[in-house]
Chain A
Amino acid sequence: MGLGAYLTLAAVLFAIGLFGVITRRNTIGILLGIELMLNAVNINLVAFARFNADVVGMIFTLFTISITVAEVALGLAITILVFRIRRTVVADHLDLLKG
């Protein structure tokens, strides 16, 4: 399999994640979508590292994974706090940013 296959997989995964972020009404679902998008990026990084024989991409991916973990933990914590205060995690009801 060539580089193109990996990049196609990553692009499809990214599009699915973006679709999830835009269409899901539930905050948890949105977080999952973001997770998919980040992993699409990881696939890209690893694929380029493999085909260009450059280890930097692999190391960078490790950083991305650990930061993603922290980000998900933070996102879930915020979601729980929002639920405690507003008794809902449906994105349509969280419109305090409205101009």
Chain B
Amino acid sequence: MSDPALLALTALLLPAVSFLVLAIVPPLRRHGHAAAYLSIVLSAASLVAAVAAWRVSAAGGFTERLFTWIPADAGPLAVVGVLADGDSTLMLILVALVSFLVQVYSLGYLSDEALPSLGRYYTYQSLFAFSMMGLVLAPNFVQLFICWELVGLCSYLLIGYWYTRPEAARAAVKAFWITKAGDTGMVVGIVLLWYQTGTFDFLQLLQLADTGLIPLEGLGVITFCIYLGAAGKSAQFPFHVWLPDAMEGPTPVSALIHAATMVTAGVYLLTRLVWLFRLTPDVMEIVAWNGAFTALLAAVLACVQTDIKRVLAYSTVSQLGYMMAAIGAGFASAGFLHLLTHGIFKALLFLGAGAVIHAVATNEIFQMGGLWRKMPQTTIVFVVGALSLAGIPFFGGFFSKEEILGATMAGGFRGAFAMLLFAAFLTAFYMFRVVFIAFGGTPAPAHGSAESHVHDAPPFMALPLWILAALAVGVGIFLPFVHWEAEFEALHWITYAAITVAVLGIALAYLVYQRRAISAGTLAAVFAPVRIAAERRFWLDDLFAGIYRAIILRFSLIVGWVDRYLVDGVLNVLSAWTLMAGDRLRRIQTGQPQDYVYGIALGVIALLVWIRWPR
């Protein structure tokens, strides 16, 4: 088995097997633990296959394995399959790895759940792993879009995992319809592209783009529409509002779907299609500026959050903005690199936060305090994640973030570069604000009596944390040595600037929240207008809620009325008439054979008369 496409196909189908078995055999699902072990074993096998596929295909080139799904006389209407190359198999490893670690972690995190709902959780997890891998390996737009919607569905199901809580149900619906708004644009873009070129296939499109056969007229609209879909999924301004609310789901789900894999699908899509986007520089510029703006906006928002998961959620939005900015500046490899490192350390941060939430049973950082005494292991891994995110040398995020800053500068986006640099400062600040408030200092009085049971995570949860922490550090140390291609000449001072702002951010957080040399109150007073606006989330959520109520709900009411009274009304009248006619006709069936004979005789006479009637 040295065919990377076959290996990738194996990796793709193993979670599908797990999902199908769990979906078809209810006793297995209701048993909970059996479902969990099945799903975990198959996802481990899937990880092995993914690594093998990457090792073969890392050398370069494409391998395809296609199957006709809908055959037709003039060529197949739809083709599914896998397209394995260096990028897609690397992403495949990230998906399989985080998915596997999260499933192991969930055994500990969800140990208090009822068994049937644990089985449901693992069924969804398997479906998600399959759909995400299908998206990553998609050889054409059809499969990509189907998997794109499937991961959206899994996100909806898992955000609403605790569906009896109204906040969770509402957040699930919100995530669904906001991403759907972007997806509508994406469908339009895909169909328009097909109309212009006559193919959905990536490799054929790439060939057309290389030979300059894609008509440039109207291409900007197409790429912008596709970007809308990517922006919805990857939570770019103004679609970013769904991601913080998505934190209502279980924390491992946030780590997998809303940090490491699904939300990066938009970035991944743009990385894959960068040759298409290069043909439309205007759209690239939009991508870059919107990415930088999103990064800054979300970083400001993260500074005022008091919910540990919401801080991480806004930081995810911010980092996605970084990736988009790099792609928009024309250097997709920098964005993709940050996608991979971010996937590792953000999953680490979320799982660490999950360990904390599991122990203290609250999301509020001000009710934690002094956790480093009780949870030394969790503190170490969380700080590793925070250092990676802040961009300190020798940790995962440093190198890729510097790469992005260099990319925006090399692409000529000086304004975007300044925004990203300031966002980097804020990133270091808000991350270490959480670290110093939650882990440093003295225990908060709020849970004084309840803290006796606060302790480090059980082995099932600790193991994934340590693996991810080791990876975050390992990536940080080894990446500079294996740095393969430099697409641009990075300026040296950017490295020093990046380190300086990160250290400054940490230092400010240290002074304010650990030393308390600067009062948090005066800091808040100085930045009062920004703080108040940020606490209101810049009124964007209100705006969306207003649009939702004023337009979508009204429209739904009208459509609902039409459906209930016009469409259903016509059908009800018809069925009532049918019933009435049946009731009347029933009476002529007396059950007396003689009556039937009478009828037959009369009928024969009538026929004879009709035949012999003189015409």
Residues of A at the B interface (CB closer than 8 Å) are: 18, 21-23, 30, 91-92, 95-99
Contacts and interface: CB of A to CB of B under 8 A. Distances in A.
Contacts of A97: 589, 591-593
A91 B594 contact: yes
Contacts of B598: 22
Contact of A96 (B591, B597, B601): B591
Nearest to B601: A18
Contacts of A95: 590-592
A92 B591 CA distance: 9
Given A18-B601, A22-B601, A99 B594 contact: no
Contacts of A92: 592
Contacts of B587: 99
Contacts of B588: 99
Nearest to B582: A99
15 contacts: A18-B597, A18-B601, A22-B594, A22-B597, A22-B598, A22-B601, A30-B593, A91-B592, A91-B594, A95-B591, A97-B589, A97-B591, A98-B590, A98-B591, A99-B589
A64 B339 CA distance: 92
Given A21-B597, A22-B598, 16 more contacts: A22-B597, A22-B601, A30-B593, A91-B592, A91-B594, A92-B592, A95-B590, A95-B592, A96-B591, A97-B592, A98-B589, A98-B590, A98-B591, A99-B586, A99-B587, A99-B589
Interface of B: 586-594, 597-598, 601
B94 to A, nearest CB: 68
Nearest to A15: B601
A30 B590 CA distance: 18
A99 B597 contact: no
B172 to A, nearest CB: 51
B580 to A, nearest CB: 15
B591 A91 contact: no
Nearest to B590: A98
A88 B521 CA distance: 103
Nearest to A34: B597
A77 B589 CA distance: 26
B594 A21 contact: yes
Contacts of B590: 95, 98
A-B complex: 8 closest residue pairs judged by Cβ atoms: A98-B591, A99-B589, A95-B591, A97-B591, A99-B586, A22-B598, A22-B594, A21-B597
A91 B598 CA distance: 14
Contacts of A23: 594
A99 B591 contact: yes
